[in-house]
């Protein structure tokens, strides 16, 4: 994946304050023992070698063959309040590479994209907090980028909300394994309130608002004042709000969502997206009054 970024009350949710993770400040050994990766007996063996040879705990553990590099990275991530999931954890989809492979090249590029967006769009003074992730068609990685971008923002310590605003073919509930929970459509229909927002306990600071039931009138629901009120309320309680959207060349919902969010990030796929479709969507966003703040070429 490569990225390019250019300069260009309805709901009262309960959100987590910016606080340190409970593992912050604890020793590597204690973290690994509590997580079941290290027995107390082996911890004592490591401590003896560490004391005898003046080694670091991780170096001593690896020398004894009792821990792996992955174990050490896991513990360090907890110490420095940078949570991610181990490969054997199946609580989320493996497509969420920012949660499972935070040291990979793909996630490094996502962090670079995050930095550019923090500099050029998300602005505390201007209160610019929401961004729609758009693409011309299906299969271009729009939901993949939206989900992983939300994760890397949460890893930065930002209170982050990912909204699945694709009320036609939603995917975020599958990526985060949320089941058929109530969501945005139910909220807009007045059937539920902020309880539709789901905290992701394994990823500090990340919350999800799934799409909910697929309605017969998604464009009308999103075009009403009620959606604007909901989004404005959510932006008061979160630092960053990312919106996943439907295929822009097929549905007018995308333009509505981009305008309500204030800006859009364009996702295209290598050897998949056509220049004509990209240009058409960019023009329609411009004509709708939405700012196109950048683009991502997805080659994953």
Closest Cα partner for 245 from 158, 151, 160, 169? 169
Q: Coil, helix or strand for 284?
A: helix
Q: pLDDT tens digits for 56-97?
A: 999 999 999 999 988 888 888 777 777 778 778 899 999 999
pTM summary value: 0.82
* The two three-digit tokens of residue 57, written as one number: 């705990």
pLDDT digits (tens, 9 = 90+) for 147-160: 999 999 999 989 99
**What are the pLDDT digits (tens) for 163-173?**
999 999 999 99
**Rounded to the nearest 10 degrees, what angle do helices 225-237 and 253-261 cross at?**
40
Nearest residue to 175 via CA among 138, 152, 145, 197: 145
Listed residue (115, 283, 99) closest to 205, CA to CA: 99
């Amino acid at each position: 994946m490569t990225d390019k970024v250019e300069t260009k009350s309805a709901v009262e949710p309960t959100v987590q304050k910016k606080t340190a993770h409970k593992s912050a400040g604890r020793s590597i050994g204690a973290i690994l023992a509590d997580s079941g990766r290290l027995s107390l007996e082996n911890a004592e063996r490591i401590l003896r070698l560490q004391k005898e040879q003046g080694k670091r705990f991780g170096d001593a553990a690896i020398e004894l063959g009792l821990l792996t590099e992955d174990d050490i990275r896991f513990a360090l991530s907890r110490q420095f309040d940078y949570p991610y999931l181990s490969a054997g954890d199946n609580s989320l989809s493996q497509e969420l590479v920012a949660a499972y492979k935070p040291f990979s090249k793909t996630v490094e590029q996502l962090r670079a994209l995050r930095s550019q967006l923090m500099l050029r769009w998300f602005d505390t003074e201007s209160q610019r907090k929401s961004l729609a992730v758009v693409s011309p068609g299906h299969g271009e990685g729009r939901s993949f980028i939206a989900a992983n971008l939300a994760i890397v923002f949460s890893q930065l310590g930002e209170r982050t909300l990912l909204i699945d605003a694709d009320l036609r073919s939603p995917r975020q509930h599958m990526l985060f394994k949320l089941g058929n929970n109530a969501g945005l459509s139910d909220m807009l229909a007045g059937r539920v309130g902020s309880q539709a927002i789901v905290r992701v306990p394994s990823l500090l600071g990340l919350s999800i608002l799934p799409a909910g039931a697929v309605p017969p009138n998604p464009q009308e629901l999103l075009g009403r004042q009620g959606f604007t009120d909901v989004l404005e309320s959510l932006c008061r309680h979160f630092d960053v709000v990312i919106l996943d959207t439907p295929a822009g060349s097929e549905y007018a919902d995308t333009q509505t969502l981009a305008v309500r969010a204030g800006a859009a990030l364009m996702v295209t796929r290598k050897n998949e997206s056509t220049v004509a479709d990209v240009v058409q969507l960019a023009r329609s966003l411009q004509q709708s009054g939405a700012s196109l703040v950048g683009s991502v070429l997805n080659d994953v």
